[in-house]
Chain A
Amino acid sequence: MTKYIGKSVKRVEDKRFITGQGKYTDDIKMPGMVYAYILRSPYAHATVNSINIDAAKSAEGVVAIYTGADIPEAIAGVPCGWQVNFKNGDIMKEPPHPLLVRKKVRHVGDGVAIIIADTRANAKDASELVDVDYDLHDAVTDPKAAAQPGAPLVHADAPNNIAFDWQLGNPKEEVAAALASAAHVTELDFVNQRMIPNAMEPRSAIGHYDTAYDKYTLYTSTQNPHLTRLLMCAFVLGLPEHKVRVVGPDVGGGFGSKIFHYIEEALVVWCSKQIELPIKWTCDRSEAFLTDAHGRDHVTNAKMGFDADGKIVALQANTFANMGAYLSTFAPAVPTYLHGTLLQGLYTTPKINVDVTATFTHTNAVDAYRGAGRPEATFLLERLIDLAALEMEMDPTELRFKNFIPAFDGVEQEGYVTQVALQYDSGNYAPVLTRALEMVGYEAFREEQKNQKGDKLLGIGFSTYVEACGIAPSAVVGALGARAGLFESAQVRVQPTGKVSVYTGSHSHGQGHETTFAQVVADRMGIPLEDVEIIHGDSDSVAFGMGTYGSRSLAVGGSAIVKSIDKVLEKGAKIAAHLLEASTDDLDYAEGKWTVKGTDKSVGFGDVSLTAYVPHNYPEGLEPGLDFSSFYDPANFTYPFGAHVAIVEIDKETGFTKLKRFIAVDDVGNVINPMIVDGQIHGGLAQGIGQAMLEGAIYDETGQLINGSYMDYCMPRADDFPSFEVDRTVTPCPHNPLGVKGAGEAGCIGSTPAVVNAVIDALWKGGHKVKDVKMPMTPERVWTAMQG
């Protein structure tokens, strides 16, 4: 029986946030603190001829100014954490990403100088006195255009701007042959546009070199403090890791954009050593638009072939993926191992080939953004299948049911082996779509749609998805190019009084770990939730961590906690057996006490804890203490899945599209806290729908980001959405102790194509047989689609 697991326990972390006592990086002040402003390139591609800092240096309050020339050659820049090889086996092109540019700027926002002063205002004022002489060059921003001969080069040693090319799946010729003999082929060219993550807390970093201890501290808005420390120490600054502490305090949302190790983090740490003062840098939103790693940006051609019966026979996907000007930490993994591997979807497609060309452009770096590769894969599959249904005049749901992989639980039935390198853990796909259709009232909707008259067009769009999360088995990702392991660590420290401190390497920045993890611990240990404290985000207190991304916290971090709990209870049983003068085999553990089977003799968890630390009457040879660390490396990814349905209404005269309903049925495995899981789904939906309807970065041909503010980049607002209708099915993960799969990205992965499909459906039913409306589907784009 569980007391907490499966219950919507209210979040323990909320109190500090609702009272204004959250502690985000920018909230931290230290004696003697000085402030940094980073002068950035206003041009996308230029040679820096000279930088004159004389006037700025003598400006009021200025403490120090550094340019690229001041940074030792040995500090080459921030590294890339994932290596993908060219098809021919060559290692990807990996030009350095310097902390401050030395010769060339490669995107608007590239760092040119850091100005440190006693106040933010003085640093900013002084920055206006720095005189940089640039020679301007042509720029390229589109990932496909970048690969064409004669395109301006981003890096001299990356010909045709190609970072790498890559393919996966069945041989191309086999796929081509299957497509050639298909009864119907649906082909689509589309752009999965560039997204700007826009976590509400702008990035911030504080570097503090402590002369007394010869120790560095970095406070930073990060999703993974330990990984940042490892990258910064070993690959950037060459610092001894044990002399560096990285803290990710309260972090105001990440969505991927705070996974990566950014130049500003290394800069404030390096500079703080030079001037022996704590330095704070906090970016403005305008800077965030230019420098937070962006997401998506794929230009794709895809073909899906069907037999006469509607069974998918083959899929060919060709994508140009924009890397931006530099390879960000996980950038190469996104269009490849997080995208190509997901193109099986939840269908039995027998032949699949995916071909990816990753290119450099004069734009900000692109990396993982909520879903990272999986939304792009889902978009590709789900746009094709809905379009195919329209073209073949079939019902889009029937077409899906026909192609679903049959149910498998990963225990009785083997996991499903895909054509693209994965083995799904467990899946039961039809019920999520069936449930979604019930919630929609599908037949009634189609009736309503058929009878519609007047100045509006109604449409319905579907998306069924499977994703890979719980990232990830280290050996697997290592073989795929990851330069890090992707396990997680946890320490369960029982205090002498029986209170429990849990140290996890997962970082919470909105996900509610302090509650969900505590529910797991309290239930497993049979103690009150109030007796559990979850500690995260500080490399000095948490042994190690790989951080939070890829919907991995509970599946991997939670499993590590379970391992430590098991060890605690195993040792506790030995102590209890000693106290009860029984054998451990004769003991039961429940509700916080060990009982000798069949008797009322028992000893409580608190007594055992105290005995462990006051070991007077104690098992011989057993170490004192009750404190265990574990590392958990998963056996496989986890594979959540779901079905999303959008209903839209288009104003024929203006193209304005209203999202009338959104239904999401997701299966994320077992659920610890339904309230929190629903919240994760809601947030993901908003981001996915935002991509479909509202958001998207626009670079002009000179490389200027022309919508780099909230006045132009459309952040979704409350009145852009209806209330979401969510439900779930539960198919446990067979390979982790909690049976959980992960819920952080599902909403964002499934929702985008459902909305686009709904608009396309509305347009077709209104007599406008267009294949695509570019995202974001602004009113003008939808209106234009109706003019043909």
Chain B
Amino acid sequence: MIPNSFDYKKATSVDEAISLLGDDVQILGGGHSLIPTLKLRLNAPGTLVDISKIESLKVIRDNENSITIGGGATHASIAADAALSEHAPMMTQAAKEIGDIQVRNFGTIGGSMAHADPAADWPAVLLACDANVVIQGKGGKREVDIDQFFKGFYETALADGEIITAVRIPKMASNRHSVYVKFKQPASRFAIVGCAVGIEMEGGVVKSARIGMTGVGESAYRAMNVEKALVGQALTAESIEAAVKNVTEGAEVMSDHYASQKYRTHLAHVYVKRALKMLM
């Protein structure tokens, strides 16, 4: 398995990386999404710009109200980060679920997000965390609400010439609870259904909820009708049952030899229910 030929440029800063981007150029982060596609020759860029050595992209910074995770932070470094574990435990939990030891050591959150595999873990979790994506391009920096980031099948809001420099995760207040649950495709161990739930409780009832789903549709999405149905309800087996009537609404539910549309739809409901019950 040998990729097509390409040129390689190593960037030492984000600015340098951006200056190197252009037609037929792709960004090489951890490489764990990109390199397999190169080896199978499904993808043949003329030039790769390697951003994996840019130290500033690897930093996980503990701010007052949020935690900023550099786009080049590896899944393993996210899993090991103490601030995340305290203030955004779902991030820690999900980071441990991704791939395997080797993949977690070198795969990065920015790379995974830019690749936007419809069965990847991060998209669901970031949706539920209400994250913001920090993007930098030739025109400067911009922040994109996570709700606007995942656009479709392997499609994101990232424009040509832009790099995900960071993801900002709001710190969870003590009244917020979250969990990520996943039903794995047995071979790839990607999600057939991944469900991330973040809820905010007030006075014994749900004040707000964010539910991110991955693996189900062509792109990760929020199960908004479930979120809405939960608001104002105490979390009980009955209220959960009533709220999860239509988890896949609006999603084009995928089908493959491990999970037909019918079964995947069923699993989506089961997993949302399970996630919510874990927060009861």
Contact = CB atoms under 8 A, between A and B. Distances in A.
B34 interface: no
A715 B188 CA distance: 9
Interface stretch (A99-107, A308-316, A581-589, A706-714): A706-714
Interface stretch (A119-127, A415-423, A546-554): A119-127
A694 interface: yes
Contact of A706 (B183, B257, B266, B267): B257
Interface centre among B257, B259, B260, B270 (most CB of A within 10 A): B257
Interface string B226-241: 0000000000000000
Nearest to A700: B257
Given A286-B40, A780-B258, A710 B187 contact: yes
Interface in A650-699: 653-654, 656, 694, 698
B263 interface: yes
Contacts of B40: 286
B270 A654 contact: yes
B1 interface: yes
A200 B2 CA distance: 19
A47 interface: no
B186 interface: yes
A210 interface: no
A713 B187 contact: yes
B267 A712 contact: no
Contact of A707 (B187, B260, B266): B187
Contacts of B183: 654, 656, 779
Contacts of A286: 1, 40
- What is the predominant secondary structure among interface residues of chain B facing chain A? loop
A697 to B, nearest CB: 11
A714 B2 contact: no
What's the interface size class on B, roughly? Answer: 10 to 19
Given A656-B183, A780-B263, A783-B263, A707 B270 contact: no
Contact of A783 (B186, B188, B266): B266
A781 to B, nearest CB: 9
A120 B2 contact: yes
A284 B1 CA distance: 6
B13 interface: no
Given A121-B2, A715-B187, A698 B257 contact: yes
Contact of A711 (B4, B5, B187, B266): B187
A712 B188 contact: yes
Interface residues of A, number: 26
A702 interface: no
A624 B54 CA distance: 74
Nearest to A60: B5
A364 B270 CA distance: 39
Contacts of A653: 270
Contacts of A780: 258-260, 263
Interface centre among B1, B186, B263 (most CB of A within 10 A): B186
Given A654-B270, A780-B260, A124 B187 contact: no
Contacts of A783: 263, 266
Interface in B166-190: 183, 186-188
A653 B188 CA distance: 22
A121 B267 CA distance: 44
A125 B4 contact: yes
A714 B187 contact: yes
Nearest to A781: B263
Interface in A441-470: none
A471 to B, nearest CB: 33
Nearest to A696: B257
Contacts of A656: 183
A43 B1 CA distance: 21
A783 B267 CA distance: 10
A75 B187 CA distance: 41
26 contacts: A120-B2, A121-B2, A124-B2, A125-B4, A125-B5, A653-B270, A654-B183, A654-B270, A656-B183, A698-B257, A707-B187, A707-B257, A710-B187, A710-B188, A711-B187, A712-B188, A712-B257, A713-B187, A714-B186, A715-B187, A778-B186, A779-B183, A779-B263, A780-B259, A780-B260, A784-B263
Interface of B: 1-2, 4-5, 40-41, 183, 186-188, 257-260, 263, 266-267, 270
Interface of A: 120-121, 124-125, 128, 284-286, 653-654, 656, 694, 698, 706-707, 710-715, 778-780, 783-784
The 4 A-B pairs at the shortest CB distance, nearest first, are namely A714-B187, A711-B188, A714-B186, A780-B263
